Amino acid sequence: MPSVVKINVLTVPEEMRRELEKRFAGRAGMVESADGFEWFELLRPVEGSDRYLVYTRWRSEEDFRRWQESRAFQAGHAQAAGEAAAQGHGHGQGHGHGHGQGGPAATDSELWTFEVVESTGPKQEG
Ligand code: HEM
């Protein structure tokens, strides 16, 4: 079965970039222990786009779904939710995350799904 790539596309206004990166820098680090998790990267746009890519790779769709329904996902996104609650931001309306100083860091999110057809890494010497 090919690995599955799940990319969360976050639209982040210029003035919220630093806040979003700070939150990811302080992330819970629970996804690393999720069954079937293979890789995570936060990709910063450098050419005129305002869309960050939260790149994750999984052994299967099922593994991703199990993580997305897990406490680890909630915990992995709770920090911002916690901050929002502490500042009395009406967390009720929003969902899970991207909040904190001055409300949500992302103004929009979209989930892209891909299957890994071909992949390679650097040539192993020796
Ligand atoms: C509404 C959609 C989403 C928004 C706004 C969002 C935003 C965020 C933010 C701000 C964090 C940093 C931690 C925090 O502040 O709590 C975070 C953590 C994370 N997000 Fe999301 N996220 C969303 C949905 C997703 C989805 C669908 C994926 C899967 C591709 C994903 C993957 C991750 C990962 C892997 C982490 C790190 C968790 C950990 O360290 O355990 N997020 N997200």
pLDDT in tens, the chain (126 residues): 899 999 999 999 999 999 999 999 999 899 999 999 999 999 999 988 999 999 999 999 999 999 999 999 998 887 666 655 655 544 444 444 444 445 678 899 999 999 999 999 999 887
pLDDT at 28: 86
Instruction: Tell me which residue has tokens 């991703």.
Output: 64
pLDDT at 113: 98
Phi-psi region of 35 (alpha: psi -120 to 50; beta: other; left: phi over 0): beta
pLDDT at 8: 98
Q: What are the structural domain ranges in the chain?
A: 4-115
* Ligand 1 surroundings by CB, under 6 angstroms: 6, 8, 10, 20, 23-24, 27-31, 40, 54, 56, 76-77, 79-80, 97-98, 105-106, 109, 111
pLDDT at 117: 96
Q: Class for domain 4-115, per CATH?
A: alpha beta
